[in-house]
């Protein structure tokens, strides 16, 4: 069955929702009316019957009545629904909720808007990614979003991990089901399938993009995976190391309880960041506040150790020891490296580092993102351990409890056979100050991908990777964090123009523009010209 566009719909105001209606819609049994072609309007989509799926509403939205980051959206049809509604563990209701927006003037593109955190929230399907990227819906693309199979109190609520099916849905299955249904509804509405399909996401959405390339390689022509959290089953071991090391040296309250946020003052962190900048900033040919030559950057924090009593101008021996250990990456009791060491970068002195690592809580209950991360004990430990104390994590025995989750959640495969056969294209990027994710892990994955797929030149035919100096998780940090990987993936897929670099700017460096270079190249100063001009930098090999 096909639906053509409603030609007068652009002049309509927002209409009342038309629900999924009769009892047959929830059972998957088509009513007799569905035997005839659907009426050519938005509300007719509410009567589409798909097994184990309820279309909850289908309504028209008039032009300019919805916006994202100041960009207004065109007239469009918005469809909401739920796939596989059920009652799960502990009598909790589960289902894969989705929202699909269909512009009346369609550019033949389909965008799956990736989620974030551990999802659980149904975001408006506007195709919004980051600053510097025009929302896909405003450009005329059909866009779908999903809560990935569960409803939470926030994108950090991981209690769904108690339900085995919810784990599977969040890990990969919901992406499959929503993609298939969205493409079917798009084809019904427009009378033709999308000409180009894209998965666009960052953080958790970046992981989802990796999942699509690796598990469902025929679904998308192009994928953007920003800050992909691709292997939390082992990456989180780094979080345990940091929490234990920094808590051990933290000052205590009157009752002898450590206050994590006070393990390092802002002045302490600035000392470290300034030391890293002094050591590494000019390695790209010019000192300008950005460490472009990140492969060459190393630092010994022991240079900051106090000769006597602790002062604002130096670090205590305990601080030096703890910070050195954390920046060396987690190890077991035999010294075996369990995850790569994070890179040295400008972000150590930024608010994002504190928020991610040690937080701002003035009491003994920490509030950093890593200390409050429920997904470790609910999702990545198998079986789930809701009462697990992160400070008691055993680096010899507990890593094994997180390996089983990799079968469901990991997206670090180097088998891109199907994606290459489909001639798919993927852009992956990560900030070098993304201490929530650890860019060293993403870099390791790309090097392994290159090794498994015939070398750098062969791998760059289908996946290109970009390290962003100074950028924190997805954006932010002392960086040039405004760039457009979405236009780059469109150009690569539709015109065959592969991105050698992406032009970036950022609020922390007003008036500055610079290329972000495809790995393994870095932006190196040419020796003359303004550091704010992109013409003053050339993408070249780190040793060049």
pLDDT tens over the chain, length 544 residues: 332 333 223 323 333 333 333 333 333 333 333 333 333 479 889 989 999 999 999 999 999 999 988 899 999 999 999 999 999 999 999 999 999 999 999 999 999 999 999 999 999 999 999 878 999 999 999 999 999 999 998 899 999 999 999 999 999 999 999 999 999 999 999 999 999 999 999 999 999 999 999 999 999 999 999 999 999 999 999 999 999 999 999 999 999 999 999 999 999 999 999 999 999 999 999 999 999 999 999 999 999 999 999 999 999 999 999 999 999 999 999 999 999 999 999 999 899 999 999 999 999 999 999 999 999 999 999 999 999 999 999 999 999 999 999 999 999 999 999 999 999 999 999 999 999 999 999 999 999 999 999 999 999 999 999 999 999 999 999 999 999 999 999 999 999 999 999 999 999 999 999 999 999 999 999 999 999 999 999 999 997 4
**In this predicted structure, what is the pLDDT of residue 3?**
29
C-alpha to C-alpha distance for 226 and 428, rounded to whole angstroms: 6
Check residue 108 and give its pLDDT: 97
Buried b (16+ CB within 10 A) or exposed e, 415-429: ebeebbebebbbbbb
Q: Say how far apart CA 413 and CA 430 lie, in whole Å.
A: 17
Cβ atoms within 10 A of the Cβ of 283, count? Answer: 18
Residues catalogued as catalytic = 203, 434, 473
For residues 150, 153, 155 and 159, what is the CA-based torsion angle, rounded to 10 degrees? -60
Half-sphere exposure in the Cβ direction for 492 (13 Å, CA): 27
Q: Which DSSP string do the residues of 103-168 spell out, in sequence order?
A: ESS--SEEEEE---TT--S----S---STTS--TGGGT-EEEEE-TT---SSTT--GGGGSHHHHH
Give the per-residue pLDDT at 17: 34
Tokens at 179, concatenated: 């993609």
pLDDT score at 348: 95
């Amino acid at each position: 069955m096909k639906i053509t566009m409603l030609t007068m719909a652009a002049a309509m105001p927002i209409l009342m929702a038309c629900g999924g209606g009769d009892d047959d819609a929830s059972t998957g049994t088509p009513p007799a009316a569905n035997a005839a072609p659907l009426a050519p309007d938005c509300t007719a989509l509410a009567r589409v019957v798909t097994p184990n799926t309820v279309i909850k509403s289908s309504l028209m939205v008039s032009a300019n009545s919805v916006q994202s980051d100041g960009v207004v959206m065109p007239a469009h049809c918005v469809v909401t629904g739920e796939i596989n509604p059920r009652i799960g563990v502990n009598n909790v209701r589960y289902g894969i909720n989705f929202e699909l927006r269909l512009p009346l003037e369609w550019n033949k593109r389909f965008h799956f808007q990736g989620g974030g955190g551990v999802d659980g929230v149904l975001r408006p399907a506007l195709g919004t990614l980051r600053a510097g990227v025009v929302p896909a819906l405003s450009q005329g693309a059909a866009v779908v979003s999903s809560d990935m199979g569960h409803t939470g109190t926030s994108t950090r609520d991981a209690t769904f991990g108690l339900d085995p099916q919810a784990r599977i849905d969040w890990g990969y299955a919901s992406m499959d089901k929503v993609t298939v249904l969205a493409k079917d509804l798009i084809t019904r509405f427009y009378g033709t399938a999308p000409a180009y399909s894209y998965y666009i996401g960052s953080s958790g959405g970046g992981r989802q993009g990796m999942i699509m390339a690796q598990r469902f390689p025929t679904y998308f022509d192009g994928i953007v995976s920003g800050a992909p959290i691709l292997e939390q089953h082992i990456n989180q071991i780094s979080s345990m190391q940091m929490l234990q090391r920094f808590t051990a040296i933290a000052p205590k309250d009157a009752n002898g309880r450590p206050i994590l946020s006070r393990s390092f003052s802002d002045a302490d962190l600035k000392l470290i960041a300034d030391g890293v900048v002094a050591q590494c900033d000019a390695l790209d040919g010019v000192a300008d506040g950005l460490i472009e030559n990140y492969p060459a950057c190393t630092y010994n924090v022991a240079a900051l150790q106090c000769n006597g009593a602790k002062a604002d101008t130096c670090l205590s021996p305990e601080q030096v020891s703890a910070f050195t250990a954390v920046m060396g990456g987690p190890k077991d009791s035999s010294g075996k490296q369990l995850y790569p060491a994070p890179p040295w970068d400008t972000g150590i002195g930024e608010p994002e580092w504190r928020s991610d690592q040690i937080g701002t809580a003035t009491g003994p209950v920490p509030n950093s993102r890593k200390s409050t991360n429920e997904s470790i004990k609910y999702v990545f430990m198998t079986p789930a351990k809701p009462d697990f104390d992160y400070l008691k994590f055993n680096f010899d025995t507990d890593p094994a409890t997180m390996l089983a989750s990799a079968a469901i959640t990991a997206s670090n495969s180097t088998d891109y056979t199907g994606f290459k056969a489909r001639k798919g294209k993927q852009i992956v990027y990560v900030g070098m100050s993304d201490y929530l994710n650890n860019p060293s892990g993403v870099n390791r994955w790309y090097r392994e991908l290159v090794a498994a797929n015939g070398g750098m030149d062969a791998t760059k035919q289908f996946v290109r990777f970009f390290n962003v100096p100074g950028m924190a998780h997805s954006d932010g940090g002392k960086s040039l964090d405004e760039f457009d990987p979405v236009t780059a993936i469109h150009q690569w897929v539709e015109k065959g123009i592969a991105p050698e670099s992406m032009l970036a700017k950022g609020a922390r460096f007003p008036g500055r523009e610079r290329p972000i270079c495809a790995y393994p190249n870095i932006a190196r100063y040419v020796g003359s010209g303004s550091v704010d001009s992109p013409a003053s930098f050339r993408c070249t090999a780190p040793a060049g």
